Amino acid sequence: MDYFIAKKIKNETFESLDQKVRDELKKEGFGVLTEIDVQKTLKEKINADFHKYKILGACNPAFAYRALTADDKIGSFLPCNVVIQETNEGELELMIFDPASTMMAMGNPELADLSGEVREKLIRVMENID
């Protein structure tokens, strides 16, 4: 099982894709808690050139609460990372960390069920973006 789900996006700019992702996350009950502009950060910190790459830390509070009450160590996997990148070929790619890939290995049936629910919502986000 892959640890991420990815999709190539056509006919969008990086900025318009960023907004669409945020809109679709909101429809599924997620807010963006953190945002890392990797290209900008690497340039500022180590003067390295890198392609457009943004990490959005998405959180659905109800799911986060359920996960934390099932296992208080799960915070090391929160929030859900959603990545938007412009590949070296100039294409846009949307990637979402697959929560089910990690949670199943933890051996907690409650987390396995929950991660499946979160996975379904995140896949809907991807499916709703052309």
pLDDT in tens, the chain (130 residues): 588 999 999 999 999 999 999 999 999 999 999 999 999 999 999 999 999 999 999 999 999 999 999 999 999 889 999 999 999 888 999 999 898 887 777 778 888 889 999 999 999 999 999 8
Contact assessment for residue 101 and residue 123, using Cβ atoms and an 8 Å cutoff: no
- CATH number of the domain to which 11 belongs: 3.30.310.70
* Alpha-carbon separation of residue 53 from 47, 97, 129 (angstroms): 16, 15, 18
- Domains identified in the chain, total number: 1
Residue 13 lies in domain: 4-127
Residue at token pair 């929030």: 79
- pTM (predicted TM-score): 0.91
Give CA–CA dist 30/2, Å, rounded.
Answer: 23
